[in-house]
Amino acid sequence: MLELRNLCFQYPDQSEEWRFHFSVAAGHCLAVRGASGTGKSTLLNLVAGFLAPKSGEILWNNQAIHNLPAWERPVTSVFQEHNLFEHLDVFTNIGLGLHPGMKLSCEQKLAIEQGLEQTGLGGFGARLPGELSGGQRQRVALLRAILRRKPVLLLDEPMTGLDPDARAIIRDLLLQEKASGITLILASHDEEDRKILADSNWNL
Ligand SMILES: Nc1ncnc2c1ncn2[C@@H]1O[C@H](COP(=O)(O)OP(=O)(O)OP(=O)(O)O)[C@@H](O)[C@H]1O
């Protein structure tokens, strides 16, 4: 279970203060709702470890994780800026998420190939990100996050720019992740996505 206990955050020199207090069970999805600028990305950045809280705790299975650096947390994220390496092909972009030196097992290589097929990107492994559409880049970023197999997946508007077919593929993928026990936090403006994926909501 992921738990935020009285987590308090404020940007330096800003008056607004956020307070988060909720829990999400393993295999469940919490949707974060709120208008633009209300703090959805801020919340995800706190859980990911890219921002430090003023006070409060983040726990994973009752162990405090808020003092751990981002790379040691049981968390992976897909943010709006896809953060793909532009000079590396799709396969390498995904592979580097699994092993920073690209020392991949046969199973991992197979999982990347299968993931590409499953997300409609079969045969795209050798392309550079600049040779993909926005929606295709989004799928690569999602696949990279999913294949890292971290217990918590943070998603900031993961469906933005996807056509209905790609959207359905990604929704199915995320439902599969939930069914396999992955915990999701989803920031999304889209009510249908939230309806299909979320088990609970946090309103900002
Ligand atoms: N680094 C920062 N320093 C100061 N203020 C910031 C910083 N980043 C974001 N903010 C402010 O914090 C508030 C929340 O921003 P955040 O990006 O979390 O909103 P959001 O709900 O994700 O918005 P959107 O839906 O538009 O992505 C906004 O008012 C924003 O201007």
Q: What is the interface pTM, i.e. ipTM, of the complex? A: 0.97
Question: Hey, CA dihedral for 29, 31, 32, 36, is it positive or negative?
Answer: positive
Do 33 and 49 fall into the same domain? yes
Give the CATH number, domain containing residue 31: 3.40.50.300
Strand partners, 77: 154
- CB within 8 Å of 17: residues ≥ 6 apart: 8, 9, 10, 54
98 shares a domain with 45: no
Give me the number of domains the chain comprises. Answer: 2
Answer with the one of 102, 119, 149 that is the final residue of a domain: 149
Instruction: Quickly tell me which residue has 């889209």 as its tokens.
Output: 190
Output the CA torsion 78→135→84→69 (10° steps).
0
My answer on whether 35 and 102 are in the same domain is no
For the entire predicted model, the pTM comes to 0.91
**Same domain for 133 and 162:** no
The reply to whether ligand 1 has any atom less than 6 angstroms from the CB of 50 is no
Domain span holding position 114: 84-149
Examine the domain organization and report whether 107 and 51 are in the same domain: no
Nearest residue by C-alpha to atom 13 in ligand 1? 37
| 36 Cα to the center of ligand 1, angstroms | 8
In a domain, 116, yes or no: yes
Q: Is 40 in the pocket of ligand 1 (CB under 6 A)?
A: yes
Residues 69, 169, single domain; the answer is: yes
Structure-token pair, residue 130: 């600049």
Residue 88 in any domain: the answer is yes
Dist. CA 41 → ligand 1 center (Å) = 7
Residues 56 and 99 in one domain: no
Which alpha helices (H) appear in 17-122, and where do they start and end? 40-48, 90-98, 106-118
Question: Is residue 113 located within the same domain as residue 204?
Answer: no
CA 127 to ligand 1 center in whole angstroms? 33
pLDDT at site 9: 97
120 & 169 share domain: no
Query: Where are any strands of DSSP class E within 25-170?
Result: 29-33, 55-60, 63-64, 75-78, 152-156
d(CA 44, CA 27): 18
User: 109 and 22, same structural domain?
Assistant: no
Q: Which atom belonging to ligand 1 lies closest to the Cα atom of 42?
A: 18
**203 part of a folded domain:** yes
If asked whether residues 30 and 55 sit together in one domain, one would say yes
How high is the pLDDT of residue 106? Answer: 93
70 in the same domain as 12:
yes
Q: Is the CB of 11 under 6 A from ligand 1?
A: yes
Whether 142 is covered by a domain: the verdict is yes
Query: Each residue of 145-156: b (16+ CB within 10 Å) or e?
Result: bbbeebbbbbbb
The ranges of the chain with pLDDT < 50 are: none
The reply to whether ligand 1 has any atom less than 6 angstroms from the CB of 92 is no
- In terms of DSSP bridges, do strands 152-156 and 183-187 run parallel, antiparallel, or are they unpaired? parallel
Domain boundary among 130, 149, 168: 149
- Write down the pLDDT at residue 82: 66
CA torsion, ordered 102, 108, 113, 117, to nearest 10 deg: -130
Residue 79 domain-assigned (yes or no): no
C-alpha closest to that of 156 among 119, 189, 123: 189
For residue 14 and ligand 1, the question of a CB distance below 6 A is answered with yes
Residues with Cβ within 8 Å of residue 123, at least 6 apart in sequence: 116
Q: Does a structural domain hold residue 31?
A: yes
What's the confidence (pLDDT) of residue 31?
Answer: 96
Backbone angle region of 149, left / alpha / beta, with phi > 0 → left and psi within -120 to 50 → alpha = left
